[in-house]
């Protein structure tokens, strides 16, 4: 009898320990699962916040550019037009060989103001393809006769949609401007490549380059890349960069066409 009680106690004790172990294991699994879900939800919220922030920044930027474009067209354009008319009137009463050259400069300035005004207005951007918009920027850069800017299209051209087009175009503008200001390059190449379900845009220069591994550590460069990535998130796009000292820089962007 005594032996049976001992065996019974051992069995019950073992069963209790096993139950406690199972309960502990279930608790740990529940804790880990909830912790992972919390981390995942937090990351999703952070990602949604970053996307919404990028969307708001883009809307503010486009509205600001629209206002600047209107200001250029209505005020600066009017002043340059007035200067052109005055020089034409002056040429009728004054014989000066320098006046034709001055008139040409003013005419070019007026043309540039009008083109710049159009490039800042989203309504005007809607009427052109991505290649046409970048092509016009190529013309402007090449007129400087300092840096050569080339555009190449590959694949069958397709409409990526208004939002993708504007976001990619603004990013290309920013990358080209940075190359002109900082890269000390002689050539900038922009390539648009159309795939069946995706669009890729690359911007390359032959300038002094930079250390790509530490680019994000630079406050100025880091913020710029962060903003670019944020804008690309709006269209489910990505960006990769490749550069090195005295090796130029290359930026490769890719986004789906139908998402």
Domain annotation for the chain: domains and CATH numbers: 146-259 (3.30.565.10)
Give the pLDDT of residue 156. 92
pLDDT at residue number 199: 96
What's the pLDDT score for residue 22?
72
Sign of CA dihedral 21, 26, 32, 35: negative
Residue 6 to residue 12: CA distance in whole angstroms: 10
Per-residue confidence (pLDDT) for residue 66, from 0 to 100: 61
> What is each CA distance from 117 to 70, 157, 168, in whole angstroms?
7, 26, 19
Q: What is the pLDDT of residue 185?
A: 92
Q: What pLDDT score does 85 carry? A: 63
- pLDDT for 3 equals 65
- What does residue 151 show for φ and ψ, rounded to 5 degrees? -125, 130
For residue 256, what are the β-bridge partners?
198
**For the whole model, what pTM was predicted?**
0.61
Q: What is the distance between the alpha carbons of residues 171 and 183, in angstroms, rounded to a whole number?
A: 17
Report how far residue 44's alpha carbon sits from residue 66's, in angstroms, rounded to the nearest whole number: 33
What's the pLDDT at 258?
74
192 by DSSP, 3-state: which?
strand
Beta strand pairing call for 238-243 and 249-256: antiparallel
Average pLDDT, the chain: 76
Q: Which residues of the chain have pLDDT under 50?
A: 217, 219-220
């Amino acid at each position: 009898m005594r032996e049976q009680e001992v065996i019974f106690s051992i069995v019950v004790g073992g069963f209790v320990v096993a139950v406690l172990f199972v309960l502990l294991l279930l608790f740990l699994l529940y804790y880990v699962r909830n912790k992972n879900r919390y981390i995942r939800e937090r990351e999703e919220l952070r990602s949604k916040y970053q996307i919404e922030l990028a969307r708001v920044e883009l809307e503010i930027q486009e509205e600001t550019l629209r206002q600047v474009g209107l200001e250029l067209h209505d005020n600066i354009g009017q002043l340059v037009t007035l200067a052109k008319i005055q020089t034409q009137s002056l040429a009728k009463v004054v014989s000066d060989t320098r006046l034709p050259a001055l008139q040409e400069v003013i005419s070019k300035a007026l043309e540039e103001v009008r083109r710049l005004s159009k490039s800042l207005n989203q309504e005007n951007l809607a009427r052109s393809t991505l290649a046409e918009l970048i092509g016009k920027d190529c013309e402007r850069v090449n007129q400087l006769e300092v840096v050569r800017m080339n555009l190449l299209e590959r694949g069958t051209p397709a409409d990526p949609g208004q939002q993708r087009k504007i976001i990619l175009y603004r990013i290309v503008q920013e990358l080209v401007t940075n190359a002109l200001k900082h890269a000390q390059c002689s050539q900038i190449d922009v390539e648009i490549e159309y795939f069946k379900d995706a669009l890729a845009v690359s911007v390359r220069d032959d300038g002094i380059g930079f250390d790509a591994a530490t680019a994000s550590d630079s406050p100025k460069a880091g913020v710029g890349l962060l903003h670019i990535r944020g804008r690309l998130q709006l269209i489910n796009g990505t960006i990769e960069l490749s550069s090195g000292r005295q090796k130029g820089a290359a930026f490769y962007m890719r986004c789906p066409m139908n998402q």
